[in-house]
């Protein structure tokens, strides 16, 4: 299994540009999450999904959109990039079920700079 | 006040020292996750625990659910242990499982 994969690894955007951060997992996990980590700070939840077709906002959703058309993929869309969106973005997934013991598995991250 | 507090925020140690990082939380949980993040790197899972103690190599994690406290110990620390250590508690809110993260402990081990 490749686990959770993210593309691209790095990206520089100009203010106002758009882009999609890709996230794919091959573990058949129903739960998927997008986080951002600003320099020197902790992880903040942007959006999450509990299954294909179901998404919901986290703590910091403004400026982002998500979709979940398949179990495997959970892309994050930035429509009008702003310098405040300069951050490292992590995708994570978690096994479905009611066990609270199931851990989240993280992707390698995408480092985004908006200039 | 954060629901998950870690201490210390920063820690510098000499190689070989015994290190303890603490995590206290104020919410009800049933599991806690310790994560490691090297500078500029990804997030690696260390331990997931709901009771007692777990050991892996030089790393030991303990949790006391009643006291709402967990510790991560590193024995015989090494410069390669230099990283940010993150505590995350697994909470069930709004019908789904989400992590509540601590702010992290930045560890630097000097040779």
What's the pLDDT tens digit per position in A72-87? Answer: 999 999 999 999 999 9
Task: Name, in order, each residue with C-beta under 8 angstroms of A90's C-beta and a sequence gap of 6 or more.
Answer: A6, A34, A35, A36, A37, A43, A106, A107, A109, B42, B43
What pLDDT, on the 0 to 100 scale, is given for residue A3?
92
Report residue A25's pLDDT band, with 50, 70 and 90 as the boundaries: very high
Least confidently predicted of A47-56, B19-28, B29-38: B29-38
> B42-97, pLDDT tens digit by residue?
899 899 888 899 999 999 999 998 999 999 999 999 999 999 999 998 876 655 67
- Indicate which of B32, B61, B96 best probes the interface with A, i.e. most A CBs within 10 Å of its own CB: B96
Q: What distance in Å separates residue B41's CA from the closest CA in chain A?
A: 7
Query: Is A25 an 8 Å CB contact of chain B?
Result: no
Query: Is B30 an 8 Å CB contact of chain A?
Result: yes
Closest CA to B46 of B76, B21, B11, B15: B21
Beta strands of A26-109 (E only): which ranges? 31-37, 43-51, 54-57, 64-66, 76-78, 87-94, 104-106
What value does the mean pLDDT take over residues A45-49? 95
């Amino acid at each position: 299994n490749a686990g959770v994969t993210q593309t691209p690894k790095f990206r520089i955007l100009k203010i106002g540009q758009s882009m999609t951060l890709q996230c794919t997992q091959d573990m058949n996990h129903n739960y998927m999450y997008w986080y951002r980590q600003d320099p020197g700070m902790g992880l903040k939840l942007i959006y999450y999904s509990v299954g294909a077709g179901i998404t919901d906002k986290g703590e910091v959703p403004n400026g982002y959109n998500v979709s979940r058309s398949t179990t495997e993929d959970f892309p994050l869309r930035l429509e009008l990039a702003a310098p405040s969106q300069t951050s490292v973005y992590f995708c994570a997934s978690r096994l479905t079920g009611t066990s609270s013991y199931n851990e989240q598995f993280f992707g390698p991250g995408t480092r985004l700079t908006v200039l | 006040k954060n629901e998950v507090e870690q201490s210390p925020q920063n820690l510098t140690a000499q190689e070989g020292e015994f290190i303890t990082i603490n995590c206290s939380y104020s919410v009800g949980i049933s599991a806690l996750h310790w994560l490691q993040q090297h500078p500029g790197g990804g997030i690696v899972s260390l331990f997931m625990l709901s009771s007692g103690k777990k050991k892996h190599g030089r790393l030991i994690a303990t949790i006391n659910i009643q006291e709402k406290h967990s510790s991560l110990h590193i024995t015989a620390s090494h410069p390669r242990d230099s990283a940010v250590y993150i505590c995350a508690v697994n909470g069930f809110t709004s019908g789904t499982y989400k992590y509540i993260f601590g702010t992290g402990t930045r560890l630097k081990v000097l040779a």
